[in-house]
Structure 1
Amino acid sequence: MPADAQPARRYIKDFGPSERFGGVFSIANAQLGRTRNGDPFLKCLLGDRTGTLPARKWSVSEEQFRRLPTDGFVYAEGATQPYQGELQLIVDTIEPTEPGPAELPDLLPSTDRDPDEMFAEVRALLESLAHPAMAALARAYLADEMLMSQFRLAPAAKIMHHAYLGGLLEHTLTLMQGADRLLPLYPRLNRDLVLMGLFLHDLGKTRELIYDRSFAYSDRGELVGHIVEGALMLQDKAKQAMAAEGVRLPPGLLSVLQHIVLSHHGRAEYGAARLPATPEAIFVAMLDELDAKTFIALNAARPPEAPAFDLGGNFTERQWALQNVRLYRPDPLA
């Protein structure tokens, strides 16, 4: 679009009901739906660094749909519309586009927390591991500068939870800190196994996801996935730790750590390669689910920046990541 045809940038968090919008947005989960009459329509998520909103374009041909990226960037114009207590975007015009470097910071969400401070806290927890073999394994990971750089930058997911730059680091730190506070209540759990398992559980996402422009899955992410990737990475790092420091892992340790990584999604239908079968694996899987689902619930029902307008309604749209439930918004004690 010509520069003089584009409205000044307004962020999604500032959108109100029944107003016009226009600009460059990220697009995610683009799908071709069908109306009750069988006519095709576009449904997707449009976003910028402040959030995402569901979008619909009621008149679209299959040829127009094929021109759009499933995940990428588009120029879109239309109007906002209140719907069941939520805001949605009704799109009039949408075209694929390639934003310039100056536009990307406005389009990709990132953590509000300081990555250097978060990484320092993760490092401190790893340096507190008691067993010499576990400490050597942690050092092998921390010495991998490229991997740790990716760990600090990557999102934790494409769209589900902590889906922003630095989200993987933030999610991992929250889990490790939470575990460190809970472990004294369960003294028979092995602290080293839990903390290392939490550090490792999602590291494969550094290779599963692409996050230099938009958030999408790499070819390896589609074919292998972060769960198996994390287990393979652990095998390599164990060899590196042994070669660098001459430390052998105790029998069974590598398998137990790999099991934590392979089982941390809890159930086969959620992507787990194995069901959790050690006390530490169960603990890790439940903590991971707690943080992910609580994050999704709070962002849907009580977003960090509440809109300046009231669309009415005490319930959110259905949250498919939470078994399609509509969440009750009000806090009766607030």
Structure 2
Amino acid sequence: MAKVFISDIQPGQEVESTFVVEQKELRTARNGNAFLTLKLRDRTGRLTGRVWERAEELGRTVSAGTVVRIRGRSETYRDELQLSIVSMAPVPAEAIRPADYLPVSPVAPESLWKDLTDLMLQVERRPLRELLRRIFSDPEIADRFKKAPAAKSVHHAYLGGLLEHTVAVARLADRICGLYGELDRDLLLAGALLHDIGKIREFTYDLVIDYSPVGRLVGHMVLGAEILEGKLQGMRGFPEEDAMLLKHLILSHHGQTEFGAVQPPMTREAVALHFADDLDAKMSNLTRILEESEGTDGLWTAYQPLHNRFFFKGRAARDEVTSTENLEEGPPEIKQLRLWDAAREKRRDG
């Protein structure tokens, strides 16, 4: 039976397909009956599933991180699509196609890697440029960096998301330097390219994106600082102050300690990097929210607890893309945004 993807499910549809279980929670309703809530996903999106009958029995047959075949009916509850599940069973390992369940960046990794390399070559100070070359020419680092997600769920939560996010943050940092000439452009660019390097060890992403043990216990900022220190060893003559400031950029880019920063930003470059990182993460998250609300009624998205607000959907104001020639017009950062936009449209339509 052909797989039915989440993006193709409409309200009131009988559904039989396979999904990854990201989370499961057994709860008790007001009438005292148990019900099961499942967070389901495939490469096209997420969906909440609920089991109202035989919840405890069916709940014992599945666990988080497994692929299950589900039969049920889709319905809308509080403006959100969900699945009322009738039956479900684990899918044998030999029948699982991992590519069906993990989403990927809408932009080809080869294109993003070229962007990253071009940005790296713009760093003028030779020690910083050589450090970047040592890090990104390491085959193990490069392979993981091209594949890793940037987050578990909030932003760029798909394969290749780390690379896509890093390129965007570095481009933002470059533009910020054009506005604030007192910034150390080389240091800020290097910090932007390395700020999330620790995420190559923070996440696992076989069938679901989750934290690795070291990712949860140590975190990507400390892991990134460790990778930096390892590559600095053996680099004779690397400026000690640059090493210290670069490490500070990695350890402080979340802005506040309550948001995971080891230290708050204490240099101009660290403040700039924090806001560039935060802006790209928030815009990625908002893009996903608006994309997932397409096809729903009304001018507003569902309430977003993470942001404590609704978002206005309105009418998307986008450049009209009619040919490859149009995609190639304009400065590099605008051209890249158009390519990403066109790739998202193609992924959604195809």
Q: Report the TM-score range of the alignment, normalised by the length of the smaller protein.
A: 0.7 to 0.9
Q: Residues 86 and 290 from structure 1, CA distance in 2 versus in 1: closer, same or farther, beyond 3 angstroms?
A: same
Match of 1:317 among 302, 311, 324: 302
Indicate the residue corresponding to 1:294 in structure 2: 283
Indicate the residue corresponding to 1:282 in structure 2: 271
Indicate the residue corresponding to 2:73 in structure 1: 79
- Cα distance, 1:79 vs structure 2: 1.2
* 1:198 alignment partner, SS class: helix
- Cα distance, 1:150 vs structure 2: 0.5
Match of 2:194 among 191, 194, 200: 200
- Cα distance, 1:48 vs structure 2: 1.1
Contact kept in structure 2, 1:71 and 1:216, CA below 8 Å:
no
Indicate the residue corresponding to 1:4 in structure 2: none
1:15 equivalent in alignment to 2:9: yes
**Structure 2: distance between partners of 1:113 and 1:236:** 31
**Structure 2: distance between partners of 1:297 and 1:55:** 23
Indicate the residue corresponding to 2:131 in structure 1: 137
Indicate the residue corresponding to 1:43 in structure 2: 37
**Structure 1: distance between partners of 2:180 and 2:33:** 57
Contact kept in structure 1, 2:148 and 2:162, CA below 8 Å:
yes
Structure 2 residue identity aligned to 1:116: E
- Report 1:89-128 matches (<5 A): 89-100=83-94, 103-128=97-122
Q: Percent same amino acid at aligned positions? A: 36
- Is the deviation greater in 66-75 or in 289-298? 66-75
**Structure 2: distance between partners of 1:44 and 1:117:** 36
- Is the deviation greater in 49-58 or in 14-23? 49-58
1:329 equivalent in alignment to 2:313: yes
Contact kept in structure 2, 1:85 and 1:315, CA below 8 Å:
no
Contact kept in structure 2, 1:82 and 1:311, CA below 8 Å:
no
Q: Residues 266 and 66 from structure 1, CA distance in 2 versus in 1: closer, same or farther, beyond 3 angstroms?
A: farther
* 2:240 alignment partner, SS class: coil
1:262 equivalent in alignment to 2:251: yes
Contact kept in structure 1, 2:65 and 2:207, CA below 8 Å:
no
Structure 2 residue identity aligned to 1:199: L
* 2:157 alignment partner, SS class: coil
**Structure 2: distance between partners of 1:29 and 1:55:** 10
- Report 1:191-270 matches (<5 A): 191-240=185-234, 242=235, 246=236, 248-270=237-259
**Structure 2: distance between partners of 1:17 and 1:78:** 12
**Structure 2: distance between partners of 1:267 and 1:98:** 44
- Cα distance, 1:43 vs structure 2: 2.5
Contact kept in structure 1, 2:150 and 2:165, CA below 8 Å:
yes
- Report 1:148-227 matches (<5 A): 148-227=142-221
Q: Residues 101 and 132 from structure 1, CA distance in 2 versus in 1: closer, same or farther, beyond 3 angstroms?
A: farther
Contact kept in structure 2, 1:155 and 1:167, CA below 8 Å:
yes
**Structure 2: distance between partners of 1:228 and 1:59:** 46
Indicate the residue corresponding to 1:3 in structure 2: none
Contact kept in structure 2, 1:302 and 1:329, CA below 8 Å:
no
- Deviation track 1:122-165 (CA, whole Å, cap 9, x = no partner) reads 01111111112101211110221111110001111122211111
TM-score by length of 2: 0.83
Relative contact order higher in (CA < 8 Å, ≥ 6 apart):
1
**Structure 2: distance between partners of 1:125 and 1:277:** 25
Let me know the Cα RMSD of the aligned residues.
2.2
Q: Residues 66 and 249 from structure 1, CA distance in 2 versus in 1: closer, same or farther, beyond 3 angstroms?
A: farther
Structure 2 residue identity aligned to 1:329: K
Structure 2 residue identity aligned to 1:203: I
**Structure 2: distance between partners of 1:142 and 1:287:** 21
**Structure 2: distance between partners of 1:165 and 1:332:** 26
* 1:194 alignment partner, SS class: helix
- Cα distance, 1:188 vs structure 2: 0.8
- Is the deviation greater in 100-109 or in 118-127? 100-109
Contact kept in structure 2, 1:45 and 1:53, CA below 8 Å:
yes
- Cα distance, 1:225 vs structure 2: 1.6
Q: Residues 38 and 137 from structure 1, CA distance in 2 versus in 1: closer, same or farther, beyond 3 angstroms?
A: farther
**Structure 1: distance between partners of 2:53 and 2:192:** 46
Contact kept in structure 2, 1:175 and 1:288, CA below 8 Å:
yes
Q: Residues 21 and 279 from structure 1, CA distance in 2 versus in 1: closer, same or farther, beyond 3 angstroms?
A: same
Structure 1 residue identity aligned to 2:274: A
Q: Residues 109 and 163 from structure 1, CA distance in 2 versus in 1: closer, same or farther, beyond 3 angstroms?
A: same
* 2:302 alignment partner, SS class: strand
**Structure 2: distance between partners of 1:332 and 1:114:** 24
